[in-house]
Each structure stands twice: as C-alpha cells, then as structure tokens.
Amino acid sequence: GNSVTQMEGPVTLSEEAFLTINCTYTATGYPSLFWYVQYPGEGLQLLLKATKADDKGSNKGFEATYRKETTSFHLEKGSVQVSDSAVYFCALSDRNTGFQKLVFGTGTRLLVSP
Amino acid sequence: NAGVMQNPRHLVRRRGQEARLRCSPMKGHSHVYWYRQLPEEGLKFMVYLQKENIIDESGMPKERFSAEFPKEGPSILRIQQVVRGDSAAYFCASSPPLVITDTQYFGPGTRLTVL
C-alpha cells in the first residue's frame, strides 16, 4: 500500500539557517505529493504541492521537487524565520482512489530560535 | 469565508461514555473527510462522506465508530463506549463538489481525552 516516511524531529535551527526536511514515499499509482503545516493550536494548512514528476511546488519561500527516480519530496527553505516554527507533514494522494485519501507521514516539528 | 469548523476543540470523556465530534465544512463544500492522529503518529484516513452518503469508510474501526453527513447540519463522528485507546486528535477536512481535486482543507481538530 501507499506510505510516506519523513525524518523525525524536532529539527532545531537558528534564524536564517537553511532547512531540509526529508520525505520519501511508496505508491502503487501516480500520486500527488503535498506538504502541510500545522501551527500551534491550529489545523493543517496546505503549504505546497506537486502533481507529477519533476514538478516543483513552492510557497512562502519553501520549495519541494517531485523526484520520481528517488521517490522523494524533500522540503527546503533557504532562510528560516522564527514564525516558521510548526509541525510539517508530508502527504500523498493517489488518483487510483480519486484523491479521496491522503496518506500522511508522522510529521516533523521545526523549532527556530532567534 | 469561514474555514472548516470543528467543535468541540477539546473533549474529555470517561470510559464507556459516548463522544460526538462535529465538523462544518467550508461554505460550498459537500465532501467531508475524517482523519485520526494518535499520539506520535501521522494522520490516518477514517472515512469519506458526501451529503447523506458514506463513500469510503475503509479506515473506520469496525465497532463503536460511525459517521454521518446529513442533508442539513454538520458532519458527525460518533464514538460509542469510548476506551482509552480512542484518545487522539480527530481532524475533519472538506473539498468542493463536482470537481476532481486533490486538495483538502482542514479544520483545527478535536482533541479527545478518555479518562
């Protein structure tokens, strides 16, 4: 079945540091890939997505590239801010199931200090 | 435009009681999804509903759990005779009708604690 594996946290960085959160996936079909972010006390917000191989999703300085050959969708940001502190979830959905089920990784907590 | 609303945000129940979790989708959305997040785990799909229909309940436990999305009013996730293992965060998401979309919009979640 489909699955998502992402690096364990917490990831602790100083402001303006470079961020990478690793995500790899296993899927039988042709998945769409997502990064969601959850700020404290809030619901999940879609951060970015990519729907096919070599697509790059980007938003708010975050980027991730859909790599089919390595089945990866790593999240990167060149310079993090304190306000980026949150939990980040990598997820996929499969067109074989009509995109009805999102499959999530366990989440990675990011802590950014001033 | 209000987002997905869930209430209550926190719910405490004793073992054997019933828990009712409510979800109001975004305005204009008629597809609702429920996910559960157990401690230290990722979100797991439970059920997908459209108005008055359960489309996919493959992630629902076979006993004690039920979901509905009536023609009027919010979607309800009902857990009967709760046990400690039901303690988790329950998230609802919604998406628009009549369009095949891969984007779901999430509510803030209900955190259920079973004593």
Instruction: Note whether B100 contacts A: Cβ–Cβ < 8 A.
Output: yes
pLDDT tens for each residue of chain A, 114 residues long: 889 999 888 999 999 999 999 999 999 878 999 999 999 878 889 999 999 999 999 999 999 999 999 999 999 999 999 999 999 999 998 777 666 789 999 999 999 999
All residues of chain A having their beta carbon less than 8 Å from the beta carbon of residue B41 are 106
Integer CA distances (angstroms), A51 to A14, A92, B17, B31, B69, in order: 32, 10, 43, 21, 29
All residues of chain B having their beta carbon less than 8 Å from the beta carbon of residue A105 are 42
Instruction: Note whether A105 contacts B: Cβ–Cβ < 8 A.
Output: yes
Q: How far is B30 from chain A (nearest CA, A)?
A: 13
Question: Looking at chain B, which residue has its C-alpha nearest residue A90?
Answer: B42
Instruction: Note whether B52 contacts A: Cβ–Cβ < 8 A.
Output: no
Number of C-alpha atoms within 13 angstroms, CB side, residue A97? Answer: 22
